[in-house]
Amino acid sequence: MEQTFIMIKPDGVQRGLVNPIPRLCKEPHLRACLNLAIGFCSALLEPSLIIVFVFTTSLLQIGDIISRFEKKGYYLKGMKFMNVEKSFAQQHYADLSAQPFFAKLVDYIISGPVVAMVWEGKDVVLTGRRIIGATRPWEAAPGTIRGDHAVEVSRNVIHGSDSVENGKKEIALWFPGGLAE
Ligand code: ATP
Ligand code: MG
């Protein structure tokens, strides 16, 4: 079955981290209760405070990205949270080494943790790219990840393999030990 390599880039990971609730409260059940309590109290006490609730729950989170692929019908075959070395980022984007933005692109990828994933399913490479949206966020259709959550080409949230062949290469690079069966 076809597989693709998807990486949530550092800005995509950090977007979720700026939501104050996960930072204040690490325990997931308490966090869900806190979100609900804020929503309930906002509506009860002062309807205009509902914006606080919307703000804290509407920021892009890693889970939102995973959900888009799961809801489409794809299977998560591997996932890890990691910091990448400069040489590793250069290897991943080796095809773009002649581009003037290459150094900036590499610095961006190593600027914080990324989430590396392998997704599997029918036509997942092409469909994954359509879920992600166009490279330049201003050309990415609303409803796509980049269309909904990015404005700059140099901080466009997420990477997806652009061909089945490159998907195989990227999976071998990022998951050298293979995937759990
Ligand atoms: P990705 O490989 O990250 O999924 P992509 O396949 O849509 O993106 P590529 O042409 O492979 O696009 O470019 C890789 C990345 O390089 C882009 O996602 C973007 O972050 C960055 N990039 C591309 N063009 C530019 C540019 N003109 N200026 C700055 N950064 C750019
Ligand atoms: Mg690419």
Q: What is the pLDDT of residues 32-85, one digit of tens each?
A: 777 777 777 777 777 666 666 565 554 567 888 999 999 999 999 999 999 999
Atom of ligand 1 nearest to the CA of 9: 3
Question: Does the beta carbon of 144 sit less than 6 angstroms from any atom of ligand 1?
Answer: no
149 is catalytic: no
Question: Does the beta carbon of 64 sit less than 6 angstroms from any atom of ligand 1?
Answer: no
> pLDDT by residue (tens digit) across 106-152?
999 999 999 999 999 999 999 999 999 999 999 999 999 999 989 99
CA 27 to each of CA 13, 23, 58, 144: distance values in angstroms, whole numbers, following the listed order:
19, 10, 19, 30
Tokens of 71: 């809801």
CA 117 to each of CA 9, 33, 44, 45, 69: distance values in angstroms, whole numbers, following the listed order:
11, 29, 41, 42, 11
Tokens of 84: 């990448």
Residue 96 C-alpha to ligand 1 middle, in angstroms?
Answer: 9
Closest ligand to C-alpha of residue 7 is 1
Q: What is the CA radius of gyration of the chain?
A: 18
Q: State yes or no: 31 annotated in a binding site.
A: no
Q: Where are the domains of the chain?
A: 3-15+60-174, 20-57
Q: State yes or no: 130 annotated in a binding site.
A: no
Among protein residues, the one with the nearest Cα to ligand 1's atom 18 is 135
Q: What is the CATH number of domain 3-15+60-174?
A: 3.30.70.141
Q: What is the pLDDT of residue 58?
A: 47
- Look up the ipTM and state it: 0.97
Residue 95 C-alpha to ligand 2 middle, in angstroms?
Answer: 9
Q: What is the pLDDT of residue 135?
A: 97
